[in-house]
């Protein structure tokens, strides 16, 4: 989780809680949830994932999933999903989590299935020439989102390190001036080329040339 470096930053959700009316039940709906440990008071074995799993071997679980995926109707639906832009990562996560909730495998096996399932869908997309999206979020963009923005760094530098800020701004202005000076000769040469490429105006009109030929 990225930490906001702004000392004056305030969490809007916390502000909403502080401003909530204590007499309004609707303002406390977010707290209307089971307390931690509530599931331990339920009857054991009530849910499928609390019972022995159907597959304890990742290879057997993978074979089971692939057999299901290769059914014509299922394969067509997944091809349509990838063609529509659904990321392969989201499809794989849904399959693995769904198998866990149905008691087919444990969370560990669900994690082990993700890489081979992803490769299976990538191969399926390549066979059908579908430009599939692999990740939910581009890893490079995700990395950029975790970094402190450049604007915030410059604002902090201007306050805490004015000498470095002035040096960077001065170097930036010099680069801009150099680019402008390089662009001016190019623009001038382009103008000269355009002027030379224009056809010279004819000294005599078309009608005068016809009269001379007739004479």
* Same domain as 91, residue 64: yes
Residue 75: domain span: 49-136
According to the model, what pLDDT value does residue 3 have? 63
φ, ψ of residue 140 in degrees (nearest 5): -70, -40
* Same domain as 158, residue 107: no
| Overall domain count for the chain | 2
* Same domain as 123, residue 81: yes
Whether 61 has a pLDDT exceeding 70, the answer reads: yes
- Burial class from Cβ neighbours inside 10 Å (0-12, 13-18, 19+) for residue 114 reads middle
* Same domain as 129, residue 71: yes
pTM, full prediction: 0.54
pLDDT classification of 170: cutoffs 50, 70, 90: confident
- Residues 134 and 89 sit within 8 Å (Cβ to Cβ): yes
Q: What angle do CA 30, 36, 40 make, to 5 degrees?
A: 135
In a domain, residue 79? The reply is yes
In a domain, residue 163? The reply is yes
* Same domain as 143, residue 127: no
Give every CB contact of residue 170 below 8 A, 6+ residues apart in sequence.
Answer: none
Higher pLDDT, 44 or 20: 44
φ, ψ of residue 135 in degrees (nearest 5): -105, 150
Whether 203 has a pLDDT exceeding 50, the answer reads: no
In a domain, residue 74? The reply is yes
- Percent of the chain at pLDDT above 90? 38
Q: Using one digit for the tens of pLDDT, what is the confidence trace for 149-159?
A: 778 888 888 88
According to the model, what pLDDT value does residue 139 have? 65
Whether 10 has a pLDDT exceeding 50, the answer reads: yes
In a domain, residue 28? The reply is no
* Same domain as 60, residue 114: yes
């Amino acid at each position: 989780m990225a930490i906001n470096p702004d000392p004056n930053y305030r969490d809007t959700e916390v502000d909403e809680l502080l401003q909530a009316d204590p007499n309004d039940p609707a303002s406390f709906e977010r707290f209307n949830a089971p307390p931690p440990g509530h599931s331990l008071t339920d009857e054991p074995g009530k849910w499928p994932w609390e019972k022995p799993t159907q597959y304890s071997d990742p290879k057997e679980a993978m074979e089971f999933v692939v057999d299901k995926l290769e059914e014509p109707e299922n394969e067509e639906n997944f091809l349509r999903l990838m063609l529509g832009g659904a990321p392969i990562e989201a499809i794989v996560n849904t399959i693995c989590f769904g198998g866990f909730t149905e008691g087919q495998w444990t969370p560990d096996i669900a994690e082990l299935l993700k890489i081979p399932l992803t490769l299976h869908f990538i191969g399926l997309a390549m066979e059908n020439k579908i430009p599939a999206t692999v990740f939910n979020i581009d890893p490079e963009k995700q990395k950029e989102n975790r970094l402190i923005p450049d604007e915030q760094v410059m604002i902090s530098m201007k306050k805490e390190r004015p000498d470095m800020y002035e040096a960077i701004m001065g170097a930036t202005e010099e680069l801009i001036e150099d680019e402008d000076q390089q662009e001016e000769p190019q623009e001038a040469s382009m103008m000269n080329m355009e002027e030379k490429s224009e056809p010279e105006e004819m000294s005599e009109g078309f009608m005068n040339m016809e009269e001379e030929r007739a004479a």
